[in-house]
Chains A and B, each alone.
Chain A
Amino acid sequence: AQSVTQLDSQVPVFEEAPVELRCNYSSSVSVYLFWYVQYPNQGLQLLLKYLSGSTLVKGINGFEAEFNKSQTSFHLRKPSVHISDTAEYFCAVRPNAGNNRKLIWGLGTSLAVNP
């Protein structure tokens, strides 16, 4: 079985500051990893994903994440945030083999960007 822990439920940050949203996972098998963003009153949107290859993954809106297998982490970063990045961010994993298509979700991190 897999589990996902997002270490911070809320992250306040000032505009143009860097931000890191932390995600750790537990799994006995290899996994795919995902970050999704949910803007207020909207559905979730895929930010980026790690499937294989380079451990540094770049996504939309200037976000990137680094897969660290030894630390079972997939932290999301952005060097300079904007007010428009205020949203809920979800980390998710699923096994990279087999027919199980279920994603295992973290509880989310609320990013609040202040002027």
Chain B
Amino acid sequence: DAGVIQSPRHEVTEMGQEVTLRCKPISGHNSLFWYRQTMMRGLELLIYFNNNVPIDDSGMPEDRFSAKMPNASFSTLKIQPSEPRDSAVYFCASSSGQGARGYTFGSGTRLTVV
């Protein structure tokens, strides 16, 4: 299994531009999580999906952020318009069943907004 695949690995964009981060979960996993990690705030859960349905988006910072999961093998996190304070590492993770096995994380996307 290739694990959780995120793209791109690095993204540098100008303030005001739209940014789209992509994630392919492990085949067969039915839960998908988007996290943001910064030095100041640590690891923050933005949103999670179960069976492609958003269950909890209370961590999405504001309306500029949106996430979709059109099918079991693909999810996107979009920021429009981007701001310098959005600079962070964004992780996608997936899990199966009730999640008792824990999550499998992708390698992350390092986003820099200038």
Residues of A at under 8 Å CB distance from B? 32, 34, 36, 42-46, 49, 51, 90, 94, 96, 99, 101-103, 105, 107-108
A105 touches B107 (CB 8 A): no
B102 touches A49 (CB 8 A): yes
Stretch at the interface among B41-49, B61-69, B80-88: B41-49
Most buried by B among A43, A49, A90: A43
Count of chain A to chain B residue pairs whose CB atoms are closer than 8 Å in the complex:
49
CB within 8 Å of A: which B35-74 residues: 42-43, 45, 48, 50, 55-56
A44 touches B91 (CB 8 A): yes
CB-based nearest A residue for B49: A101
A43 with B100, Cβ < 8 A, contacts A102-B56, A105-B43 known: no
Verify if B106 is at the interface (C-beta below 8 Å from A). yes
* Residue of A45, A101, A108 touching B48 (CB-CB under 8 A): A101
Please report the C-alpha to C-alpha distance between residue A51 and residue B28 in the assembled complex, in whole angstroms.
21
Contacts of B93 in A (CB 8 A): 43-44
Interchain nearest-CB distance for A58 vs B (Å): 15
A46 touches B95 (CB 8 A): no
> 7 pairs across A/B with beta carbons < 8 Å?
A44-B91, A96-B100, A101-B99, A102-B56, A103-B103, A108-B42, A108-B43
